[in-house]
Amino acid sequence: MPGIAGPSFRRALPTTDGVRNRSPVTSTASQQIALITGATKGIGYATARELGKRGHVVFVGARDPERGMKAVTDLSEEGIDARCVRLDVTDLATVEAAAAYVDTEFGRLDILINNAGVSLDRPHRPSGLPVAVLRAIYETNVFGVVAVTNAMLPLLRRSEAGPILNVSSELGTVSFLTDQATLTAQNALLLGYNSSKAALNAITLVYAAELHDSQIRVNAVSPGFCATDLNGNRGIRSAEEGGASVARQALLADTPTGVFIAEDAVPW
């Protein structure tokens, strides 16, 4: 049975005796409350599934209501306490509403995973990428992360842990972008995607510095080259493997803050 829907989903759910459908009531004292943006498919969905299988409550951040409810239904059928919340990272109103909804339901957030991302470069070369497309990439990959992080910080401060994981890419590391051997590689020419992930890495370090004296760890995590819709389902790893990697890092208790965590041990 689907979990609780976010504010924009409530009318779509059937009710019984005036109470909207929701997952069985469970104690959250020993559970972690996680929110994953862009969690209706790919790495985001796989991350939600991995965290849910470990007994945690997962908020599926969904830009599209129907996809969000489908994801929650599928997760719930596996016994996962999944909740659907409308969250378009480029729409500040939905970001703020999502934070208010989590606050109303649990009063805290234990894990934030900024996973939503887009790659709109192809088929353009850097010199031919329309500025409007570049702006659209940054709206999701950069500004959206800032908007969600700022909205969720008050909830994360109420957690005993409160890690923030920004799903990044090795393509945005200085080590990749300055490697002469990669200059002719096809993926080196993704002006919007690569530069936005480089900006995300910088944002990660800035937040880590601001929050260094708190319990909140802020890190970038690269699940590696996973086959997803974002890259035309090309990749040497599956989305499930990528999600397992992200979930594993989210649950580590002794990870330092301000680090780039990559499956292939690539430096910043």
| CA atoms of 229 and 67, how far apart (whole Å) | 15
| Residue 85 zone, left/alpha/beta (φ > 0; ψ -120 to 50; rest) | beta
| CA atoms of 215 and 255, how far apart (whole Å) | 12
Backbone φ and ψ for 231, nearest 5 degrees, come out as -115, 25
User: Of residues 45, 101, 138, 197, which has the active-site annotation?
Assistant: 197
Per-residue tokens: 2: 């689907």
User: Of residues 45, 101, 138, 193, which has the active-site annotation?
Assistant: 193
| CA atoms of 58 and 49, how far apart (whole Å) | 8
| CA atoms of 44 and 60, how far apart (whole Å) | 8
Beta bridge partners of 220: 166, 260
Closest CA to 177 of 159, 156, 193, 154: 193
**Under a CB-based contact definition with an 8 Å cutoff, are residues 47 and 247 in contact?**
yes
Judge whether 53 counts as a catalytic residue. no
**Under a CB-based contact definition with an 8 Å cutoff, are residues 198 and 171 in contact?**
no
Helix axes 92-106 and 144-156, enclosed angle (nearest 10) = 20
**Under a CB-based contact definition with an 8 Å cutoff, are residues 31 and 57 in contact?**
yes
Q: Which residue has the tokens 């934030």?
A: 112
Judge whether 45 counts as a catalytic residue. no
Catalytic residues: 193, 197
